[in-house]
A and B are shown apart, each in its own frame.
Chain A
Amino acid sequence: MSDSTTMLRRNFKHTVRNPITVFNAVLFPIVLLLMFVFVIGGAFDVGVKYIDYATPGMIIMAICYGLSATATAVNSDMTKGIINRFKVMDISRSAVLNAHVAETVLRTLIAIAAIIAVAFAAGFRPTASFPEWLGAIGLLVLVSLATAWITVALGLFAKTPESAGMACVPLIMLPFLSSAIVPADTMAAGVRQFAQYQPFTPIIETLRGLLLPGDTSTSSAIQAVVWCVGIAVVGYVWSLSTFKKRA
Chain B
Amino acid sequence: MSAAVSAACQVGGGAGAEAHRMTSSAITASGLRKAYKDKVVLDGLDLEVAAGTVFSLLGPNGAGKTTTVNVLTTLMKADAGTIRVAGHDVATETKAVRAAIGVTGQFAAVDELLTGQENLQLMADLKGLDSGQSRRIIGDLLEQFDLTESAQKLSTTYSGGMRRKLDLAMTLVGKPKIIFLDEPTTGLDPRSRRTMWDIIRQLVAEGTTIFLTTQYLDEADRLADKIAVLDQGKLVAEGTPAELKRQIPGSHVRFRFTEVAEFDAALRVLPDATRDAEDDLILHVPSDGGAKSVRSLLDQLDAHSIDVDEFSVHTPDLDDVFLALTGRTSTKVEA
Which residues does A use to contact B, with CB under 8 Å? 2-3, 6, 9-10, 13-14, 17-18, 80-91
A83: min CB distance to chain B, Å: 8
* CB of B122 within 8 Å of the partner chain: yes
**Stretch binding the partner chain, chosen from B7-15, B110-118, B189-197, B269-277:** B110-118
Kindly state the separation between the CA atoms of A17 and B113 in the bound complex, as whole angstroms: 8
Closest chain B residue to A77 by CB distance?
A: B111
Closest to A11 in B: B113
Partner-contacting stretch, out of B48-56, B99-107, B297-305: B99-107
B binding-site residues for A, Cβ under 8 Å? 73-75, 95-96, 98-99, 101, 103, 105, 107-114, 118, 122, 125-128, 154, 170
In contact, B113 and A88 (Cβ under 8 angstroms)? no
CB neighbours of A91 from chain B (8 A): 126
Q: How far is the CB of B103 from chain A (nearest CB, A)?
A: 5
Task: Decide if A88 touches B126 in the complex (CB within 8 Å).
Answer: no
Q: Is the CB of B75 within 8 A of A10?
A: no
A-B contact pairs, 14 of them (CB 8 A): A6-B122, A6-B125, A9-B125, A13-B118, A14-B113, A14-B114, A17-B154, A81-B110, A82-B109, A85-B103, A86-B126, A87-B74, A88-B103, A90-B96
Chain B residues within an 8 Å CB radius of A89: 98, 126-127
Task: With a 10 A CB-CB cut-off, give which of A84, A86, A88 has the most chain B CB atoms.
Answer: A88
Asked if B112 and A88 make an inter-chain contact with CB atoms under 8 angstroms apart, the answer reads: no
Are A10 and B122 in contact, CB atoms less than 8 angstroms apart? yes
Residues of B within 8 A of A10 (CB): 111, 114, 122
**B105: chain A residues within 8 A (beta carbon):** 81, 84-85
Select which of B110, B126, B154 is within 8 A of A3 by beta carbon: B126
Given A88-B73, A88-B74, also A82-B110 (CB < 8 A): yes
- A85 and B95 form a contact (CB under 8 A): no
Q: Which residues of A contact B154 (CB under 8 A)?
A: 17
Q: How far is the CB of A37 from chain B (nearest CB, A)?
A: 36
Cα–Cα, bound, A120→B216 (Å): 68
Decide yes or no: A85 and B170 within 8 Å by CB, A6-B126, A10-B122, A90-B95 being known contacts.
yes
In the complex, A22→B48 CA distance in Å? 52
A84 — which chain B residues lie within 8 A by C-beta? Answer: 75, 103, 105, 109
A81:B109 contact, CB within 8 angstroms: yes
Q: Closest Cβ of chain A: how far from B19's Cβ, in Å? A: 27
CA distance A98 to B165 in the complex (A): 30
Sample of 7 further A-B pairs with CB below 8 A, known A3-B126, A17-B154, A82-B109: A6-B126, A81-B105, A84-B75, A87-B75, A88-B98, A88-B103, A90-B95
A18 partner residues in chain B, CB cutoff 8 A: 113
Looking at the assembled complex, report how far the CB atom of B187 sits from the nearest CB atom of chain A, in whole angstroms.
14
Q: Which residue of B lies closest to A92 (CB)?
A: B126
Please measure, in the bound complex, the distance between the C-alpha atom of A2 and the C-alpha atom of B108, giving whole angstroms: 25
Given contacts A2-B128, A6-B125, A10-B114, contact A85 B98 (CB under 8 A): no
- A90's partner among B99, B112, B118 (CB-CB below 8 A) is B99
Considering the chains assembled together, what is the distance between the CA atoms of A83 and B122 in angstroms? 13
